Structure 1
Amino acid sequence: MTIFFAILFSVSTLVFVAGLAMKIAQYARTPAPLKIPTTPAPLTKGGVALRLGREALLFESLFRGDKLLWLFAFVFHLGLAVVLVRHARYFQGEAGPLVALVQPLAQPAGLAMVAGLTLLLARRFVIERVRYVTGPSDILMLALLLAIGVTGMLMKCVIHTDIVMVKAFFTGLMGFELRPLPADPLLGLHLLLVCLLMIVFPFSKLLHAPGLFFSPTRNQTDNPREVRHLAPWAAKLDEGQ
Protein backbone atom coordinates (compact mmCIF):
# COMPACT_ATOMS: atom_id res chain seq x y z
CA MET A 1 0.00 0.00 0.00
CA THR A 2 2.85 2.39 0.86
CA ILE A 3 4.70 1.83 -2.43
CA PHE A 4 1.45 1.99 -4.43
CA PHE A 5 0.40 5.35 -2.98
CA ALA A 6 3.93 6.76 -3.16
CA ILE A 7 3.95 6.09 -6.91
CA LEU A 8 0.33 7.18 -7.38
CA PHE A 9 0.79 10.49 -5.54
CA SER A 10 3.99 11.23 -7.45
CA VAL A 11 2.26 10.61 -10.79
CA SER A 12 -0.93 12.47 -9.89
CA THR A 13 1.04 15.47 -8.58
CA LEU A 14 3.05 15.59 -11.81
CA VAL A 15 -0.12 15.38 -13.92
CA PHE A 16 -1.83 18.04 -11.81
CA VAL A 17 1.04 20.54 -11.89
CA ALA A 18 1.99 19.99 -15.55
CA GLY A 19 -1.62 19.90 -16.75
CA LEU A 20 -2.55 23.03 -14.82
CA ALA A 21 0.53 24.88 -16.09
CA MET A 22 -0.26 23.91 -19.69
CA LYS A 23 -3.87 25.05 -19.37
CA ILE A 24 -2.91 28.38 -17.80
CA ALA A 25 -0.35 28.93 -20.56
CA GLN A 26 -3.06 28.13 -23.12
CA TYR A 27 -5.42 30.63 -21.50
CA ALA A 28 -2.70 33.28 -21.49
CA ARG A 29 -1.97 32.75 -25.20
CA THR A 30 -5.61 32.83 -26.29
CA PRO A 31 -6.27 36.18 -28.03
CA ALA A 32 -9.09 38.46 -26.93
CA PRO A 33 -9.86 40.41 -30.13
CA LEU A 34 -12.95 42.13 -28.77
CA LYS A 35 -13.55 44.50 -25.91
CA ILE A 36 -16.30 42.62 -24.04
CA PRO A 37 -16.25 43.39 -20.30
CA THR A 38 -19.55 42.73 -18.59
CA THR A 39 -20.91 46.13 -17.63
CA PRO A 40 -20.99 47.96 -15.34
CA ALA A 41 -17.24 47.41 -15.48
CA PRO A 42 -14.30 49.29 -13.91
CA LEU A 43 -12.46 51.93 -15.93
CA THR A 44 -8.98 51.29 -14.48
CA LYS A 45 -6.66 48.29 -13.99
CA GLY A 46 -6.90 48.76 -10.23
CA GLY A 47 -10.67 48.50 -10.49
CA VAL A 48 -10.31 45.33 -12.58
CA ALA A 49 -8.06 43.79 -9.91
CA LEU A 50 -10.62 44.67 -7.24
CA ARG A 51 -13.41 43.21 -9.35
CA LEU A 52 -11.50 39.95 -9.88
CA GLY A 53 -10.82 39.78 -6.15
CA ARG A 54 -14.52 40.13 -5.34
CA GLU A 55 -15.37 37.47 -7.91
CA ALA A 56 -12.76 35.03 -6.61
CA LEU A 57 -13.52 35.51 -2.91
CA LEU A 58 -17.19 36.51 -2.77
CA PHE A 59 -18.68 35.27 -6.10
CA GLU A 60 -20.17 38.71 -6.68
CA SER A 61 -21.82 38.07 -10.06
CA LEU A 62 -23.28 34.76 -8.86
CA PHE A 63 -24.79 36.53 -5.86
CA ARG A 64 -26.51 38.98 -8.19
CA GLY A 65 -27.75 36.26 -10.52
CA ASP A 66 -28.86 33.42 -8.21
CA LYS A 67 -28.69 33.94 -4.47
CA LEU A 68 -29.66 30.35 -3.59
CA LEU A 69 -26.94 28.90 -5.81
CA TRP A 70 -24.53 31.48 -4.37
CA LEU A 71 -25.32 30.26 -0.85
CA PHE A 72 -24.71 26.60 -1.76
CA ALA A 73 -21.49 27.42 -3.62
CA PHE A 74 -20.17 29.79 -0.97
CA VAL A 75 -20.74 27.28 1.85
CA PHE A 76 -18.92 24.59 -0.13
CA HIS A 77 -15.97 26.76 -1.18
CA LEU A 78 -15.53 28.27 2.27
CA GLY A 79 -15.49 24.83 3.86
CA LEU A 80 -13.10 23.57 1.18
CA ALA A 81 -10.71 26.48 1.74
CA VAL A 82 -10.49 25.77 5.48
CA VAL A 83 -10.06 22.02 4.87
CA LEU A 84 -7.24 22.61 2.38
CA VAL A 85 -5.41 24.98 4.74
CA ARG A 86 -5.73 22.48 7.59
CA HIS A 87 -4.44 19.62 5.42
CA ALA A 88 -1.23 21.60 4.92
CA ARG A 89 -0.13 20.27 8.32
CA TYR A 90 0.51 16.88 6.72
CA PHE A 91 3.24 18.46 4.58
CA GLN A 92 4.87 20.63 7.27
CA GLY A 93 7.28 19.70 10.01
CA GLU A 94 5.82 22.36 12.29
CA ALA A 95 2.26 23.57 11.79
CA GLY A 96 2.24 27.19 10.63
CA PRO A 97 0.19 29.95 12.27
CA LEU A 98 -2.54 29.81 9.62
CA VAL A 99 -2.96 26.05 10.12
CA ALA A 100 -3.15 26.56 13.88
CA LEU A 101 -5.73 29.29 13.39
CA VAL A 102 -8.13 27.11 11.38
CA GLN A 103 -7.54 23.94 13.43
CA PRO A 104 -10.63 24.44 15.67
CA LEU A 105 -12.76 24.93 12.53
CA ALA A 106 -11.81 21.59 10.99
CA GLN A 107 -15.00 19.68 11.76
CA PRO A 108 -17.48 22.52 11.02
CA ALA A 109 -15.63 23.25 7.76
CA GLY A 110 -15.78 19.59 6.73
CA LEU A 111 -19.50 19.47 7.44
CA ALA A 112 -20.03 22.73 5.52
CA MET A 113 -18.13 21.31 2.55
CA VAL A 114 -20.22 18.11 2.51
CA ALA A 115 -23.48 20.02 3.03
CA GLY A 116 -22.70 22.48 0.23
CA LEU A 117 -21.80 19.68 -2.18
CA THR A 118 -24.94 17.73 -1.28
CA LEU A 119 -27.11 20.77 -2.00
CA LEU A 120 -25.30 21.49 -5.27
CA LEU A 121 -25.74 17.87 -6.37
CA ALA A 122 -29.42 17.82 -5.33
CA ARG A 123 -29.97 21.02 -7.30
CA ARG A 124 -28.84 19.22 -10.45
CA PHE A 125 -31.72 16.77 -10.07
CA VAL A 126 -34.47 18.82 -8.42
CA ILE A 127 -34.59 21.97 -10.58
CA GLU A 128 -35.87 21.07 -14.04
CA ARG A 129 -34.07 23.77 -16.04
CA VAL A 130 -30.79 22.86 -14.33
CA ARG A 131 -31.38 19.15 -14.86
CA TYR A 132 -31.90 19.81 -18.58
CA VAL A 133 -28.40 21.28 -19.02
CA THR A 134 -26.65 18.87 -16.64
CA GLY A 135 -24.21 16.45 -18.24
CA PRO A 136 -22.59 13.29 -16.83
CA SER A 137 -19.35 15.15 -16.09
CA ASP A 138 -21.22 17.63 -13.86
CA ILE A 139 -22.61 14.79 -11.76
CA LEU A 140 -19.31 12.89 -11.66
CA MET A 141 -17.29 15.90 -10.49
CA LEU A 142 -19.73 16.70 -7.69
CA ALA A 143 -19.96 13.04 -6.71
CA LEU A 144 -16.16 12.73 -6.61
CA LEU A 145 -15.79 15.82 -4.42
CA LEU A 146 -18.60 14.62 -2.18
CA ALA A 147 -17.02 11.16 -1.81
CA ILE A 148 -13.73 12.80 -0.79
CA GLY A 149 -15.53 14.95 1.77
CA VAL A 150 -17.57 12.07 3.19
CA THR A 151 -14.60 9.70 3.55
CA GLY A 152 -12.61 12.48 5.19
CA MET A 153 -15.37 13.22 7.69
CA LEU A 154 -15.76 9.52 8.45
CA MET A 155 -12.08 9.36 9.39
CA LYS A 156 -12.45 12.53 11.44
CA CYS A 157 -15.58 11.59 13.37
CA VAL A 158 -16.18 7.81 13.15
CA ILE A 159 -13.28 5.59 12.06
CA HIS A 160 -10.05 7.28 13.09
CA THR A 161 -6.72 6.63 11.42
CA ASP A 162 -3.13 7.17 12.55
CA ILE A 163 -2.56 10.75 11.44
CA VAL A 164 1.01 10.71 12.78
CA MET A 165 1.89 7.95 10.30
CA VAL A 166 0.01 9.79 7.54
CA LYS A 167 2.03 12.93 8.20
CA ALA A 168 5.27 10.93 8.32
CA PHE A 169 4.39 9.35 4.95
CA PHE A 170 3.83 12.68 3.19
CA THR A 171 6.75 14.55 4.75
CA GLY A 172 8.95 11.59 3.86
CA LEU A 173 7.59 11.54 0.31
CA MET A 174 8.51 15.21 -0.09
CA GLY A 175 12.08 14.33 0.92
CA PHE A 176 12.17 11.26 -1.38
CA GLU A 177 12.04 8.94 1.62
CA LEU A 178 9.59 6.05 1.83
CA ARG A 179 7.80 5.77 5.19
CA PRO A 180 4.95 3.35 5.98
CA LEU A 181 1.34 4.39 5.46
CA PRO A 182 -1.40 3.01 7.78
CA ALA A 183 -3.10 -0.06 6.30
CA ASP A 184 -6.51 1.55 6.64
CA PRO A 185 -9.08 0.77 3.88
CA LEU A 186 -10.99 4.02 4.44
CA LEU A 187 -7.78 6.05 4.29
CA GLY A 188 -6.81 4.18 1.12
CA LEU A 189 -10.15 5.01 -0.49
CA HIS A 190 -9.86 8.66 0.53
CA LEU A 191 -6.35 8.99 -0.90
CA LEU A 192 -7.35 7.14 -4.07
CA LEU A 193 -10.19 9.60 -4.65
CA VAL A 194 -7.89 12.57 -4.00
CA CYS A 195 -5.38 11.25 -6.55
CA LEU A 196 -8.18 10.78 -9.07
CA LEU A 197 -9.30 14.37 -8.53
CA MET A 198 -5.75 15.65 -9.02
CA ILE A 199 -5.44 13.74 -12.30
CA VAL A 200 -8.76 14.88 -13.79
CA PHE A 201 -8.66 18.46 -12.45
CA PRO A 202 -6.62 20.01 -15.31
CA PHE A 203 -8.99 18.52 -17.88
CA SER A 204 -12.34 19.20 -16.21
CA LYS A 205 -14.81 22.02 -15.64
CA LEU A 206 -13.13 22.59 -12.28
CA LEU A 207 -10.68 24.79 -14.21
CA HIS A 208 -13.13 27.65 -13.69
CA ALA A 209 -10.93 28.41 -10.65
CA PRO A 210 -7.89 29.71 -12.61
CA GLY A 211 -10.00 30.39 -15.72
CA LEU A 212 -11.82 33.23 -13.96
CA PHE A 213 -8.70 35.42 -14.13
CA PHE A 214 -8.45 34.97 -17.91
CA SER A 215 -12.09 35.74 -18.68
CA PRO A 216 -12.27 38.81 -20.97
CA THR A 217 -15.68 39.68 -19.55
CA ARG A 218 -14.01 40.13 -16.15
CA ASN A 219 -10.37 41.13 -16.74
CA GLN A 220 -10.89 44.03 -19.18
CA THR A 221 -11.35 47.69 -18.43
CA ASP A 222 -14.41 49.41 -19.84
CA ASN A 223 -12.58 52.01 -21.94
CA PRO A 224 -13.37 51.22 -25.60
CA ARG A 225 -14.02 54.90 -26.35
CA GLU A 226 -10.74 56.09 -24.83
CA VAL A 227 -8.38 53.30 -25.98
CA ARG A 228 -8.57 51.24 -29.14
CA HIS A 229 -8.42 47.57 -28.19
CA LEU A 230 -6.22 45.40 -30.42
CA ALA A 231 -5.08 41.83 -29.82
CA PRO A 232 -1.33 41.42 -30.58
CA TRP A 233 -1.98 39.51 -33.79
CA ALA A 234 -4.53 42.12 -34.93
CA ALA A 235 -2.05 44.93 -34.17
CA LYS A 236 0.49 43.30 -36.50
CA LEU A 237 -2.10 43.15 -39.27
CA ASP A 238 -3.02 46.75 -38.63
CA GLU A 239 0.64 47.83 -38.90
CA GLY A 240 1.02 45.86 -42.15
CA GLN A 241 -1.80 47.80 -43.77
Structure 2
Amino acid sequence: MSILIAGLLVIATLFMLGGLARKARQYRATPAPLKIPITPAPKSTGGVVLRLAREVVLFASLFRSSKWTWLFGWLFHVSLALAFIRHLRYIIDPDGIFGFMMPVIGLWIVQIAGQYAAFGMIIGLGGLLARRFLVARVRYISAPSDYLMLVLILSIAFSGFVMSFISYVDIVAVKVFMLGIINFNLQELPESTALVVHLLLVAALGFVLPISKLLHIPGVFYSPTRNQVDNPREKRHIVAWAKEFEDKRNDYPELKAAREKKPEA
Protein backbone atom coordinates (compact mmCIF):
# COMPACT_ATOMS: atom_id res chain seq x y z
CA MET A 1 0.00 0.00 0.00
CA SER A 2 2.84 2.41 0.80
CA ILE A 3 4.33 1.98 -2.69
CA LEU A 4 0.92 2.47 -4.34
CA ILE A 5 0.11 5.63 -2.38
CA ALA A 6 3.60 7.06 -2.91
CA GLY A 7 3.46 6.38 -6.64
CA LEU A 8 0.02 7.97 -6.99
CA LEU A 9 1.09 11.06 -5.07
CA VAL A 10 4.22 11.52 -7.19
CA ILE A 11 2.38 11.07 -10.49
CA ALA A 12 -0.52 13.29 -9.40
CA THR A 13 1.86 16.04 -8.26
CA LEU A 14 3.82 15.99 -11.53
CA PHE A 15 0.58 15.94 -13.54
CA MET A 16 -0.83 18.85 -11.55
CA LEU A 17 2.31 21.01 -11.79
CA GLY A 18 2.68 20.26 -15.49
CA GLY A 19 -0.98 21.10 -16.09
CA LEU A 20 -0.70 24.36 -14.17
CA ALA A 21 2.41 25.37 -16.12
CA ARG A 22 0.78 24.45 -19.44
CA LYS A 23 -2.37 26.42 -18.64
CA ALA A 24 -0.39 29.43 -17.44
CA ARG A 25 1.59 29.36 -20.68
CA GLN A 26 -1.65 29.16 -22.65
CA TYR A 27 -3.08 32.13 -20.76
CA ARG A 28 0.11 34.09 -21.37
CA ALA A 29 0.08 33.37 -25.11
CA THR A 30 -3.56 34.41 -25.56
CA PRO A 31 -3.60 37.87 -27.19
CA ALA A 32 -5.60 40.76 -25.80
CA PRO A 33 -6.40 42.80 -28.93
CA LEU A 34 -8.27 45.54 -27.08
CA LYS A 35 -8.06 47.56 -23.91
CA ILE A 36 -10.90 46.08 -21.85
CA PRO A 37 -10.25 46.77 -18.16
CA ILE A 38 -13.42 46.86 -16.09
CA THR A 39 -13.89 50.46 -15.00
CA PRO A 40 -13.25 52.16 -12.71
CA ALA A 41 -9.77 50.86 -13.43
CA PRO A 42 -6.32 51.91 -12.19
CA LYS A 43 -4.22 54.17 -14.39
CA SER A 44 -0.82 52.87 -13.22
CA THR A 45 0.97 49.54 -12.87
CA GLY A 46 1.02 49.94 -9.11
CA GLY A 47 -2.74 50.35 -9.14
CA VAL A 48 -3.11 47.16 -11.20
CA VAL A 49 -0.99 45.24 -8.68
CA LEU A 50 -3.16 46.56 -5.85
CA ARG A 51 -6.32 45.64 -7.75
CA LEU A 52 -5.11 42.09 -8.36
CA ALA A 53 -4.15 41.80 -4.70
CA ARG A 54 -7.67 42.80 -3.68
CA GLU A 55 -9.12 40.21 -6.03
CA VAL A 56 -6.82 37.41 -4.86
CA VAL A 57 -7.01 38.15 -1.14
CA LEU A 58 -10.45 39.70 -0.66
CA PHE A 59 -12.45 38.59 -3.76
CA ALA A 60 -13.57 42.22 -4.17
CA SER A 61 -15.63 41.78 -7.36
CA LEU A 62 -17.41 38.71 -5.96
CA PHE A 63 -18.27 40.69 -2.82
CA ARG A 64 -19.96 43.35 -4.95
CA SER A 65 -21.78 40.71 -6.98
CA SER A 66 -23.12 38.30 -4.33
CA LYS A 67 -22.54 38.64 -0.60
CA TRP A 68 -23.57 35.06 0.24
CA THR A 69 -21.42 33.51 -2.48
CA TRP A 70 -18.53 35.70 -1.35
CA LEU A 71 -18.97 34.63 2.27
CA PHE A 72 -18.84 30.89 1.56
CA GLY A 73 -16.20 31.20 -1.17
CA TRP A 74 -13.89 33.42 0.85
CA LEU A 75 -14.31 31.25 3.97
CA PHE A 76 -13.36 28.15 1.98
CA HIS A 77 -10.32 29.68 0.31
CA VAL A 78 -8.94 31.23 3.50
CA SER A 79 -9.42 27.94 5.34
CA LEU A 80 -7.75 26.09 2.47
CA ALA A 81 -4.76 28.46 2.65
CA LEU A 82 -4.44 27.91 6.41
CA ALA A 83 -4.67 24.14 6.00
CA PHE A 84 -2.07 24.24 3.22
CA ILE A 85 0.37 26.21 5.38
CA ARG A 86 -0.13 23.75 8.22
CA HIS A 87 0.48 20.80 5.90
CA LEU A 88 3.85 22.22 4.81
CA ARG A 89 5.40 20.80 7.96
CA TYR A 90 4.94 17.30 6.53
CA ILE A 91 7.09 17.96 3.46
CA ILE A 92 9.72 20.40 4.77
CA ASP A 93 12.90 19.00 6.25
CA PRO A 94 14.13 21.24 9.10
CA ASP A 95 17.69 20.62 7.88
CA GLY A 96 16.85 21.22 4.21
CA ILE A 97 16.97 24.35 2.08
CA PHE A 98 13.46 25.33 3.19
CA GLY A 99 14.15 24.67 6.83
CA PHE A 100 14.10 28.41 7.55
CA MET A 101 10.31 28.28 7.14
CA MET A 102 9.78 25.85 10.01
CA PRO A 103 9.85 28.44 12.84
CA VAL A 104 6.91 30.23 11.21
CA ILE A 105 5.02 27.08 10.20
CA GLY A 106 5.60 25.60 13.64
CA LEU A 107 4.05 28.53 15.51
CA TRP A 108 1.21 27.26 17.68
CA ILE A 109 -1.21 29.85 16.31
CA VAL A 110 -0.49 28.68 12.73
CA GLN A 111 -0.96 25.03 13.68
CA ILE A 112 -4.16 25.66 15.64
CA ALA A 113 -5.61 27.83 12.87
CA GLY A 114 -4.70 25.20 10.28
CA GLN A 115 -6.23 22.42 12.36
CA TYR A 116 -9.56 24.19 12.83
CA ALA A 117 -9.55 25.33 9.21
CA ALA A 118 -11.30 22.03 8.46
CA PHE A 119 -14.47 23.53 9.94
CA GLY A 120 -14.19 26.57 7.67
CA MET A 121 -13.62 24.40 4.60
CA ILE A 122 -16.61 22.18 5.37
CA ILE A 123 -18.91 25.15 6.05
CA GLY A 124 -17.71 27.05 2.98
CA LEU A 125 -17.97 24.07 0.64
CA GLY A 126 -21.33 23.12 2.13
CA GLY A 127 -22.64 26.59 1.37
CA LEU A 128 -21.31 26.51 -2.20
CA LEU A 129 -22.81 23.05 -2.75
CA ALA A 130 -26.17 24.16 -1.33
CA ARG A 131 -26.07 27.14 -3.69
CA ARG A 132 -25.86 24.75 -6.62
CA PHE A 133 -29.07 23.08 -5.47
CA LEU A 134 -31.09 26.00 -4.10
CA VAL A 135 -30.44 28.88 -6.52
CA ALA A 136 -32.46 28.21 -9.68
CA ARG A 137 -30.27 30.07 -12.16
CA VAL A 138 -27.11 28.44 -10.76
CA ARG A 139 -28.75 25.01 -10.76
CA TYR A 140 -29.73 25.51 -14.42
CA ILE A 141 -26.14 26.06 -15.58
CA SER A 142 -24.53 23.48 -13.27
CA ALA A 143 -23.10 20.33 -14.84
CA PRO A 144 -22.69 17.02 -12.97
CA SER A 145 -18.95 17.68 -12.81
CA ASP A 146 -19.60 20.86 -10.82
CA TYR A 147 -21.25 18.86 -8.06
CA LEU A 148 -18.64 16.09 -8.19
CA MET A 149 -15.72 18.51 -7.81
CA LEU A 150 -17.32 20.14 -4.78
CA VAL A 151 -18.02 16.73 -3.27
CA LEU A 152 -14.40 15.67 -3.93
CA ILE A 153 -12.93 18.68 -2.11
CA LEU A 154 -15.53 18.37 0.64
CA SER A 155 -14.51 14.72 1.10
CA ILE A 156 -10.86 15.75 1.43
CA ALA A 157 -11.77 18.30 4.10
CA PHE A 158 -13.98 15.82 5.95
CA SER A 159 -11.37 13.06 5.95
CA GLY A 160 -8.86 15.58 7.30
CA PHE A 161 -11.36 16.55 9.99
CA VAL A 162 -11.75 12.88 10.96
CA MET A 163 -7.99 12.49 11.38
CA SER A 164 -7.71 15.67 13.45
CA PHE A 165 -10.62 15.17 15.83
CA ILE A 166 -11.87 11.56 15.71
CA SER A 167 -9.37 8.97 14.46
CA TYR A 168 -5.94 10.33 15.36
CA VAL A 169 -2.95 9.53 13.14
CA ASP A 170 0.74 9.42 14.03
CA ILE A 171 1.79 12.70 12.40
CA VAL A 172 5.48 11.99 12.98
CA ALA A 173 5.17 8.79 10.94
CA VAL A 174 3.26 10.72 8.28
CA LYS A 175 6.12 13.22 8.02
CA VAL A 176 8.66 10.41 7.79
CA PHE A 177 6.62 8.86 4.97
CA MET A 178 6.31 12.15 3.04
CA LEU A 179 9.98 13.06 3.44
CA GLY A 180 10.85 9.53 2.33
CA ILE A 181 9.02 10.14 -0.95
CA ILE A 182 10.85 13.43 -1.50
CA ASN A 183 14.25 11.94 -0.65
CA PHE A 184 13.64 8.72 -2.66
CA ASN A 185 13.83 6.69 0.54
CA LEU A 186 10.37 5.22 0.88
CA GLN A 187 9.10 4.56 4.39
CA GLU A 188 6.03 2.73 5.66
CA LEU A 189 2.72 4.56 5.62
CA PRO A 190 1.00 4.65 9.05
CA GLU A 191 -1.94 2.27 9.33
CA SER A 192 -5.02 4.46 9.11
CA THR A 193 -8.05 4.08 6.87
CA ALA A 194 -8.82 7.78 7.13
CA LEU A 195 -5.27 8.66 6.07
CA VAL A 196 -5.37 6.32 3.06
CA VAL A 197 -8.73 7.75 1.96
CA HIS A 198 -7.43 11.29 2.48
CA LEU A 199 -4.31 10.71 0.38
CA LEU A 200 -6.23 8.94 -2.39
CA LEU A 201 -8.67 11.85 -2.59
CA VAL A 202 -5.81 14.35 -2.69
CA ALA A 203 -4.20 12.38 -5.54
CA ALA A 204 -7.54 12.38 -7.38
CA LEU A 205 -7.74 16.16 -6.98
CA GLY A 206 -4.23 16.46 -8.40
CA PHE A 207 -5.36 14.64 -11.55
CA VAL A 208 -8.64 16.58 -11.84
CA LEU A 209 -7.34 20.09 -11.15
CA PRO A 210 -5.44 20.79 -14.42
CA ILE A 211 -8.32 19.62 -16.65
CA SER A 212 -11.29 21.17 -14.87
CA LYS A 213 -12.79 24.58 -14.21
CA LEU A 214 -11.10 24.45 -10.81
CA LEU A 215 -8.03 25.70 -12.66
CA HIS A 216 -8.79 29.37 -12.08
CA ILE A 217 -5.74 29.73 -9.85
CA PRO A 218 -3.40 31.31 -12.48
CA GLY A 219 -6.23 32.71 -14.60
CA VAL A 220 -6.92 35.80 -12.50
CA PHE A 221 -3.40 37.10 -13.13
CA TYR A 222 -3.87 36.89 -16.91
CA SER A 223 -7.40 38.31 -17.11
CA PRO A 224 -7.28 41.45 -19.31
CA THR A 225 -10.26 42.91 -17.46
CA ARG A 226 -8.12 42.91 -14.30
CA ASN A 227 -4.46 43.23 -15.34
CA GLN A 228 -4.66 46.09 -17.85
CA VAL A 229 -3.87 49.72 -17.10
CA ASP A 230 -6.65 52.12 -18.07
CA ASN A 231 -4.55 54.38 -20.32
CA PRO A 232 -5.85 53.94 -23.90
CA ARG A 233 -5.54 57.68 -24.61
CA GLU A 234 -2.04 58.02 -23.20
CA LYS A 235 -0.60 54.87 -24.79
CA ARG A 236 -1.86 53.08 -27.86
CA HIS A 237 -2.48 49.39 -27.26
CA ILE A 238 -1.15 47.11 -30.02
CA VAL A 239 -1.36 43.36 -29.59
CA ALA A 240 1.88 41.47 -30.23
CA TRP A 241 0.76 39.76 -33.44
CA ALA A 242 -0.38 43.10 -34.91
CA LYS A 243 2.95 44.87 -34.46
CA GLU A 244 4.29 43.31 -37.67
CA PHE A 245 1.40 44.76 -39.67
CA GLU A 246 1.75 48.10 -37.91
CA ASP A 247 5.37 48.34 -39.02
CA LYS A 248 4.43 47.51 -42.62
CA ARG A 249 2.01 50.42 -42.75
CA ASN A 250 4.98 52.77 -42.93
CA ASP A 251 5.95 51.16 -46.25
CA TYR A 252 2.90 52.74 -47.93
CA PRO A 253 3.30 56.53 -48.25
CA GLU A 254 -0.40 57.11 -48.96
CA LEU A 255 -1.42 55.42 -45.69
CA LYS A 256 1.18 57.39 -43.76
CA ALA A 257 -0.01 60.63 -45.34
CA ALA A 258 -3.62 59.81 -44.53
CA ARG A 259 -2.76 59.24 -40.89
CA GLU A 260 -0.78 62.45 -40.63
CA LYS A 261 -3.35 64.57 -42.44
CA LYS A 262 -5.20 66.83 -40.04
CA PRO A 263 -8.97 67.15 -40.43
CA GLU A 264 -10.18 70.43 -41.87
CA ALA A 265 -11.73 72.88 -39.43
TM-score under structure 1 normalisation? 0.97
- Structure-2 residue corresponding to 1:144: 152
- Structure-2 residue corresponding to 1:128: 136
CA contact (8 A) 2:86 2:115 kept: no
Q: SS at the partner of 1:31? A: coil
CA-to-aligned-CA distance 1:48-90 (integer Å, 9 cap, x gap): 0110001000001111111111111111111111000000010
Percent of aligned pairs sharing the same letter: 51
Q: Which residue of 145, 163, 167 corresponds with 1:159?
A: 167
1:34 paired with 2:34, answer yes
Q: Which moved more, 1:99-108 or 1:112-121?
A: 99-108
Q: CA deviation at 1:220?
A: 0.2
Rg comparison, structure with higher value: 2
Q: CA deviation at 1:108?
A: 2.4
- Structure-1 residue corresponding to 2:221: 213
CA-to-aligned-CA distance 1:183-237 (integer Å, 9 cap, x gap): 3222111100000101111111111111000000000011111111111101111
Q: Which aligned runs of 4 or more in structure 1 are off by greater than 2 angstroms? A: none
Q: Which residue of 106, 122, 132 corresponds with 2:114?
A: 106
Structure-to-structure mapping, 1:41-56, within 5 angstroms = 41-56=41-56
- Structure-1 residue corresponding to 2:204: 196
Unaligned runs of 5+ in 2: 95-100, 250-265
CA RMSD after TM alignment: 1.1
TM-score under structure 2 normalisation? 0.88
Residue 173 of structure 1 aligns to which amino acid in structure 2?
A: I
CA distance in 1, matches of 2:179, 2:171: 12
Residue 8 of structure 1 aligns to which amino acid in structure 2?
A: L
CA contact (8 A) 2:90 2:174 kept: yes
Unaligned runs of 5+ in 1: none
Structure-to-structure mapping, 1:58-73, within 5 angstroms = 58-73=58-73
Residue 79 of structure 1 aligns to which amino acid in structure 2?
A: S
Aligned residues: 241
Residue 6 of structure 1 aligns to which amino acid in structure 2?
A: A
Residue 214 of structure 1 aligns to which amino acid in structure 2?
A: Y
